[in-house]
């Protein structure tokens, strides 16, 4: 579905039309039931008919509600895309295709810049923490896919870049998980991995080229999703290369487990990206236990202020104690993809601002796909997507 034709508005209109159509259907169903009820009065089948009627009326009501909700979300996305519409009308490149949309969970959207059915090179990027079908998705994740397509087309004009929001990412920010590592689980990534592989099998099947070059891209928690998809039987369908950005780990011990060969696994990990330095589970448990114990002791000595100071001190002391026991290759979800033990190709990225000293917060975690914020990283990603991974600039592994 081409962007220039207003796909979001058309899709919203279709959802509203379907909702409107269901009104008369519901009325006709009720009238038909009344006719049947009149002819079966006093018979046992009447109770069955009433049950059937109630079940179908609830289904129709639910479908009407879903269509109404989806139409509202689509129109909101269309409003957020107003500036992008103007830019595309002015330039028209790359064309945008709406491949999928839905209101399941936190929302679903699959958008491609460039035609994925005709391009020789196709990438599918899975966003991570906090992603939902909202204004941030439009302004950030869709822009990243568009920037990737533009960058890849500098090396091979026949390139398309997809952003795939086909799962429910944890609704946490990078800042949230830094203090709440115990709430991070792989469940959503594992569910998303199944859906991602189903989508990727379709990409390979519908592409007109005999052997398209396909790249799976995962950022943040999305890299765990891609990693889990790659470790399923058969790996990511059609994938030739895998790119992991700002990764907290994939659940794999080495790049060899991702199904494309370690020389085709590429990792971007900024030195000042806190997510790529998430503590291993043993360290996180130690921090939590130490912080709790420190808070109790601190409170006994100095009230609320003492509790806070004790929590910080206890957590830090426990972290370093556990750190001495932990394997330095390990982060939250297995081996650090940027570590030499993992065996992937770590490409050069900017270090990014330091979270505290430079006041950068988690900016280094969000810059990988942005040519404005990290030109070298975006260029390296574009080269891999365009099938020119041998030409990237490399960085020493950790």
The pTM for the full model equals 0.71
What is the model's pLDDT at position 303? 47
Compute the distance between CA of residue 365 and CA of residue 362 in angstroms, rounded to an integer: 5
- Is residue 94 reached through a cis peptide bond, with omega within 30 degrees of 0 on the bond before it? yes
Can you tell me the distance from the alpha carbon of 115 to that of 263, in angstroms, rounded to the nearest whole number? 28
Q: How far is CA 61 from CA 12, 65, 66, 75, 243, in A?
A: 18, 6, 9, 21, 43
Give pLDDT, residue 327.
73
Per-residue confidence (pLDDT) for residue 328, from 0 to 100: 78
pLDDT given for residue 16 in this prediction? 66
In this predicted structure, what is the pLDDT of residue 172? 72
Residue 317 is predicted with a pLDDT of: 41
pLDDT of residue 35: 59
Q: Identify any residues that bridge with 348 across adjacent strands, giving them in sequence order.
A: none
Parts of the chain with a pLDDT under 50:
1-5, 83-84, 86-91, 179, 182-183, 281-325
42, burial (CB in 10 Å: exposed 0-12, middle 13-18, buried 19+): exposed
What is the pLDDT, as a whole number, of residue 176? 59
Residue 388: what pLDDT? 98
346: left (phi over 0), alpha (psi -120 to 50) or beta: beta
Which pLDDT belongs to residue 54? 73
Instruction: Give the pLDDT score at 326.
Output: 57
């Amino acid at each position: 579905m081409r962007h220039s034709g207003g796909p979001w508005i058309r899709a919203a209109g279709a959802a509203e039309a379907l909702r409107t159509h269901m009104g008369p259907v519901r009325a006709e169903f009720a009238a038909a039931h009344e006719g049947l009820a009149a002819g079966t009065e006093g018979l046992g089948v009447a109770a069955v008919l009433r049950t059937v009627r109630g079940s179908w009326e609830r289904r129709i009501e639910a479908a009407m509600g879903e269509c109404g909700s989806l139409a509202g979300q689509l129109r909101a996305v269309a409003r957020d895309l107003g500036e992008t519409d103007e830019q595309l009308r002015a330039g028209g490149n790359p064309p945008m295709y709406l491949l999928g949309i839905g209101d399941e969970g936190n929302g679903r959207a699959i958008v491609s810049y460039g035609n994925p059915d005709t391009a020789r090179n196709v990438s599918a990027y899975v966003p991570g923490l906090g992603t939902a079908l909202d204004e941030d998705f439009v302004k950030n994740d869709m822009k990243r896919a568009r920037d990737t397509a533009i960058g890849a087309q500098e090396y091979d004009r026949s390139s398309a870049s997809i952003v795939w929001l086909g799962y429910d990412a944890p609704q946490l920010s990078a800042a949230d998980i830094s203090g709440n590592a115990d709430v991070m689980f792989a469940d959503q990534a594992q569910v998303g991995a199944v859906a991602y592989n189903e989508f990727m099998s379709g990409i390979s099947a519908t592409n007109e080229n005999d052997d398209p070059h396909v790249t799976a891209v995962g950022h943040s928690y999305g890299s765990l999703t891609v990693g889990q998809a790659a470790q399923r039987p058969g790996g990511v369908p059609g994938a030739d290369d895998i790119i992991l950005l700002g990764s907290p780990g994939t659940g794999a011990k080495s790049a060899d487990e991702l199904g494309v060969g370690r020389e085709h696994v590429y990792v971007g990990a900024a030195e000042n990206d806190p997510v790529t330095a998430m503590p291993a589970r043993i360290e996180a448990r130690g921090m939590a236990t130490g912080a709790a114990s420190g808070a109790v002791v601190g409170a006994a000595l100095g009230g609320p202020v003492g509790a806070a100071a004790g929590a910080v001190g206890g957590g830090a002391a426990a972290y370093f104690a556990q750190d001495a026991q932990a394997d330095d290759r390990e982060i939250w979800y297995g081996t650090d993809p940027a570590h030499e033990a993992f065996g992937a190709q770590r490409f050069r990225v900017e270090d990014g601002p330091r979270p505290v000293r430079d006041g950068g917060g988690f900016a280094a975690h969000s810059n990988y796909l942005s040519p404005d914020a990290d030109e070298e990283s975006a260029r390296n990603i574009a080269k891999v997507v365009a099938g020119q991974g041998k030409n990237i600039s490399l960085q020493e592994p950790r």
